[in-house]
A and B are shown apart, each in its own frame.
Chain A
Amino acid sequence: NAGVTQTPKFRILKIGQSMTLQCAQDMNHNYMYWYRQDPGMGLKLIYYSVGAGITDKGEVPNGYNVSRSTTEDFPLRLELAAPSQTSVYFCASRLTGELFFGEGSRLTVL
């Protein structure tokens, strides 16, 4: 019973590098989300998707891109990484009610 799976768990990037955080869910949920968590700031929504082929910006989308080609997968792309993107990233999904979260991806940009 995998739920929401995120990879990688940890990554260190140099300024200006790019990378993709992977997220997959096996619950056939339509809604998927990417949040970032910074100390003392709670969770901020980066992007979300209401179904395959449909994505929309959240509160803090700058510097990120997403795609949703299948119901299962919702990758988050970081272009030209900056120190301000050092954070813990959480992917989540839902059907109608509560969110189900992945274990998180800790990204450090140096």
Chain B
Amino acid sequence: AQSVAQPEDQVNVAEGNPLTVKCTYSVSGNPYLFWYVQYPNRGLQFLLKYITGDNLVKGSYGFEAEFNKSQTSFHLKKPSALVSDSALYFCAVRDRQTGANNLFFGTGTRLTVIP
């Protein structure tokens, strides 16, 4: 079975400080991993993905994420937070081996960047 856990419902960080949004996953095979961001009253927007290769993935708006197979984690990071980064962030996983068509989403983490 596939699942994603985002252990923090809310993350607060001061503007200019580094931010981390945590994600752990469970799949039977190897994962495709994704991060999406949702601004109020909008659809989800793709930030970055891990398919294969380098464990450090760089994405949109200065975000990056590190795939850690031993810890089954895919934490989202940014070196210096902006107020405009405040939004709802979703981690998602799809099992590469089973070819599953569903993308399983975490419950989301609300990031608030304090000026």
Residues of A within 8 A of B (CB): 4, 31, 33, 35, 40-43, 45, 48, 50, 56, 58-59, 90, 92, 97-104
Contact = CB atoms under 8 A, between A and B. Distances in A.
21 contacts: A4-B43, A31-B101, A35-B105, A42-B4, A43-B105, A45-B103, A56-B101, A58-B102, A59-B102, A90-B43, A90-B44, A92-B44, A97-B49, A98-B49, A99-B44, A99-B103, A101-B36, A101-B45, A102-B43, A103-B42, A104-B42
Contacts of A59: 102
Contact of A48 (B9, B42, B102): B102
Given A56-B101, A59-B102, A99-B44, A42 B49 contact: no
Contacts of B46: 98-100
A4 B44 CA distance: 11
Contact of B34 (A35, A40, A98): A98
Given A58-B102, A98-B34, A40 B49 contact: no
The main secondary structure of chain A at its interface with chain B is strand
Interface of B: 4, 9, 32, 34, 36, 41-46, 49, 51, 90, 101-103, 105-108
Contacts of A4: 43
Contacts of B103: 33, 45, 99
A97 B51 CA distance: 9
Contacts of A41: 107
A58 B102 CA distance: 8
B105 A48 contact: no
A33 B103 CA distance: 10
